[in-house]
């Protein structure tokens, strides 16, 4: 097993509340790992620790170690870490710019200013998320005029523009209809050949459809982690069975 991320004895406190408790978990390279569990169990907090976003958005006290390609993420410059480990939020958070500028802005931030190269990357990433044919004649219109599904795919294209190695996604389909959910799921299955994906989802059917590995979190603890097939078909812990059975039964 080739692990790109290795989480060891992770504890996270938010305002003295113990949110994540002794989390140890490998994230396998070029696989989709799903994080499941009931609301409030710590899933999103866990995801935000992987690129240290939790330190900026919440008053977090963290112990333990997270290694990315063998390096402690706390010893990496944040700019480098965020380039390597991208993040897509639950609500499609496009910039209030044109479709083109949503991607070009990020490229310029990372020093890519050649116009021809920027245009090539914009087109490439929009094609990668299946959006280019839908917007190729409207790249100058505001991203805010796109549908929810289109905006979410634009956010994914923007995250991929700087070639991260890991893509973190927090409930990326929760606000989308069945058709757009299917489009994004198919896209993620294609993307995992190039990228490692970690997805938080309350949708167990989605986790079962697209993930290779699944971790079940309950009350801030990893209750069970295994291949998705094993976890759903033959869970080892009664609490996992109760959770899966309660939503599938």
pLDDT digits (tens, 9 = 90+) for 23-34: 999 999 999 999
pLDDT digits (tens, 9 = 90+) for 42-67: 999 999 999 999 988 787 899 999 99
Residues whose CB is less than 8 angstroms from the CB of residue 180 and which lie 6 or more positions away in sequence, other chains included: 147, 148, 149, 152, 173
Comparing 220 with 174, which gets the higher pLDDT? Answer: 220
Find the helix or strand (DSSP H, E) in which 108 lies: helix 99-109
CA distance 73 to 94: 27
pLDDT of residue 90: 87
Give me the mean pLDDT over the 97-118 stretch: 95
Residues whose CB is less than 8 angstroms from the CB of residue 238 and which lie 6 or more positions away in sequence, other chains included: none
235: DSSP letter: -
pLDDT of residue 1: 65
For the entire predicted model, the pTM comes to 0.94
pLDDT of residue 246: 65
Query: pLDDT band at 248, cuts 50/70/90?
Result: low
Instruction: Tell me the domain boundaries of the chain.
Output: 3-248
> What percent of the chain clears pLDDT 70, i.e. is strictly above it?
98
Q: Which CATH number fits domain 3-248: 3.40.50.300, 3.30.470.20, 3.40.50.1100, 3.40.50.450?
A: 3.40.50.300
Query: pLDDT band at 218, cuts 50/70/90?
Result: very high
């Amino acid at each position: 097993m080739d692990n790109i991320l290795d989480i060891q004895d992770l504890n996270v406190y938010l305002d003295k509340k113990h949110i994540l408790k002794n989390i140890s978990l490998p994230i396998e390279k070029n696989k989709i790992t799903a994080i499941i569990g009931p609301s409030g169990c710590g899933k999103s907090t866990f995801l935000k620790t992987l690129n240290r976003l939790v330190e900026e958005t919440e008053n977090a006290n963290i112990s333990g170690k997270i290694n990315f390609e063998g390096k402690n993420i706390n010893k990496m410059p944040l700019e480098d870490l965020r380039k390597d480990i991208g993040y897509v939020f639950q609500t499609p958070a496009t910039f209030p710019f044109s479709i083109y500028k949503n991607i070009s802005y990020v490229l310029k931030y990372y020093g890519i200013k050649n116009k021809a190269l920027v245009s090539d990357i914009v087109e490439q990433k929009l094609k990668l998320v299946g959006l280019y044919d839908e917007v190729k004649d409207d790249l100058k219109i505001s991203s805010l005029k796109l549908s929810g599904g289109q905006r979410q795919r634009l956010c994914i294209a923007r995250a991929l523009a700087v070639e991260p190695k890991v893509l973190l996604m927090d409930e990326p389909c929760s606000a989308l209809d069945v058709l757009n959910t299917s489009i994004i799921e198919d896209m993620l299955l294609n993307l995992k050949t190039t990228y490692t994906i970690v997805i938080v989802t309350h949708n167990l059917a989605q986790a079962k459809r697209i993930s290779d590995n699944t971790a079940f979190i309950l009350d801030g603890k990893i209750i069970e982690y295994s291949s998705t097939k094993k976890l759903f078909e033959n869970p080892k812990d009664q609490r996992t069975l109760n959770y899966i059975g309660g939503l599938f039964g």
